[in-house]
């Protein structure tokens, strides 16, 4: 039916009508609706109550928060909570005027979590790190009933250490001028590439290196609520490439993609609801710079708030209930004849203000 109407009226006529309607709608919003909403307390809450965009995110957050709190109360496996608590202990240990006793409100929870994770054979550097930090904590803190009870639980834990490295706090390394120069060169060299060599997909071992470097990006309480879903299957790439915004003119040129996926059930706090977007974006920039250092070109792709597109990606990549795409990244080896946008950046005086 839509195709028939387009054939009768013409594509150009329909687009013109749509643009006029869109501009009229915006005038009504900024001229009438939004000024009223700003003057009436709580009015925006009701106005956006049934919004599809906000609604889907809020529904996911409610489910994610329920999942997190349920795990916390039932003392079941929760690696995100363990990572957060161990990081909090780390921060306590590095304080210059360290208190003789701290973390009493979560130390028992932490050792109980560690015990349950070791029991499920999640034995890796995360476990080694947790054990090293807890060892130091119990060595430097004074006696207290909660602390002593946690120590009893910790003493029953037997982890098979699989690393000779120490995972405790360390002194800041000296700054290297060569590193400054290398980063400046790398940052200036990286550009968004939209045209790639066909049938030449980077090896997975290189992608793994880039992901490991991406994981070094800052993350709130070291929770890292994101993952990199690498798509190098040609048929799947073809289905994925048309979904992000702005790929209409070059989707056929994309040979491989990465979906940066956020995970929402990592905190019980409403104020942390944007955590996966912030941390995922920080890691994504690390990832693209890492790709550049390995000779692999990349291009971040716009991922708008669109429930239908979210659902398509969820089905294609079998995402979990509390996962959603943050952004997409096209990658590959840059085509020799492909051009780059110059993209002049803002000057310093528009980017920076002191105090």
- CATH number for the domain that contains residue 317: 3.40.109.10
Helix (H, G, I), strand (E, B), or coil: what is residue 231?
Answer: strand
Please give the residue that has the higher pLDDT: either 16 or 290. 290
pTM for this entry: 0.83
- Give 207-257 pLDDT, tens digit per residue: 999 999 999 999 999 999 999 999 999 999 999 999 998 898 899 999 999
Of the candidates 263, 266, 205, 265, the one whose C-alpha atom is nearest the C-alpha of residue 230 is 205
Q: Based on the structure, what is the number of domains in the chain? A: 3
Q: Are residues 15 and 92 in the same domain?
A: no
Cα 162 from chain centre:
28
Q: Are residues 296 and 204 in the same domain?
A: yes
Report the alpha-carbon distance of residue 143 to residue 340 in Å, rounded.
63
DSSP H stretches of helix in 94-144: 107-119, 125-140
For residue 6, what pLDDT is reported?
A: 62
pLDDT score for 232: 97
CA angle 165/167/171 to nearest 5° reads 105
- The per-residue pLDDT for 350 is 94
pLDDT score, position 186: 92
Phi, psi of 85 (to 5 degrees): -65, -40
**Residue 55: is its pLDDT beyond 80?**
no
Give the pLDDT confidence score for residue 4 in this predicted structure.
64
pLDDT in tens, 249-278: 899 999 999 999 999 999 878 888 899 999
Average pLDDT, the chain: 89
DSSP 40: S
Q: Does a structural domain hold residue 292?
A: yes
What residues make up the domain containing 21? 2-49
Q: How many Cβ atoms from other residues are within 10 Å of residue 112's Cβ?
A: 16
Give residue 271's pLDDT.
Answer: 85
Whether residue 108 sits in one domain with residue 44: no
Comparison of pLDDT for 329 and 267, the residue scoring more: 329
294 shares a domain with 230 = yes
At residue 58, the pLDDT reads 81
Q: Which residue has the tokens 């290189």?
A: 206
Assess whether 185 and 315 both reside in one domain: yes
Task: Examine the domain organization and report whether 277 and 325 are in the same domain.
Answer: yes
Is 192 found in the same domain as 314? yes
Q: Are residues 279 and 150 in the same domain?
A: no
Q: Are 69 and 38 contained in the same domain?
A: no
């Amino acid at each position: 039916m839509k195709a028939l109407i387009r054939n009768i009226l013409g594509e150009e006529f329909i687009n013109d009508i749509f643009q006029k309607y869109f501009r009229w709608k915006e005038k009504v919003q900024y001229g009438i609706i939004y000024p009223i909403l700003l003057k009436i307390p709580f009015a925006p809450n009701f106005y956006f109550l049934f919004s599809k965009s906000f609604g889907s995110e809020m529904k996911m957050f409610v489910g994610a928060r329920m999942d997190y709190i349920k795990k916390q109360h039932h003392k079941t496996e929760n690696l995100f909570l363990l990572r957060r608590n161990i990081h909090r202990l780390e921060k306590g240990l590095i304080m210059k005027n360290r208190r003789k006793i701290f973390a009493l409100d979560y130390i028992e929870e932490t050792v109980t979590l560690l015990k349950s994770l070791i029991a499920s054979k999640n034995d890796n550097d995360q476990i080694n790190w947790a054990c090293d930090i807890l060892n130091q904590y119990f060595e430097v803190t004074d006696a207290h009933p909660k602390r002593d009870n946690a120590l009893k639980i910790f003493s029953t834990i037997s982890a098979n250490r699989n690393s000779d490295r120490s995972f405790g706090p360390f002194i800041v390394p000296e700054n290297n001028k060569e590193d400054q120069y290398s980063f400046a060169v790398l940052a200036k060299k990286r550009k968004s590439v939209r045209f790639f060599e066909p049938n030449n997909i980077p090896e997975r071992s290189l992608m793994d290196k880039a992901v490991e470097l991406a994981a070094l990006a800052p993350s709130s309480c070291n929770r890292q609520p994101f993952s990199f879903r690498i798509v190098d299957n040609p048929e799947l790439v073809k289905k994925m490439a048309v979904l992000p915004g702005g790929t209409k003119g070059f989707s056929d040129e994309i040979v491989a993609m990465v979906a940066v996926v956020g995970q929402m059930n990592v905190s019980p706090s409403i104020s942390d609801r944007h955590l996966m977007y912030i941390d995922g974006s920080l890691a994504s920039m690390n990832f693209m710079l890492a790709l550049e250092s390995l000779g692999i070109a990349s291009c971040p792709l716009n991922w708008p708030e669109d429930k239908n597109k979210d659902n398509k990606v969820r089905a294609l990549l079998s995402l979990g209930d509390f996962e959603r795409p943050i952004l997409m990244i096209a990658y590959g080896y840059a085509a020799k004849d492909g051009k780059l946008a110059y993209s002049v950046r803002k000057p310093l005086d528009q980017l920076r203000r002191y105090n």
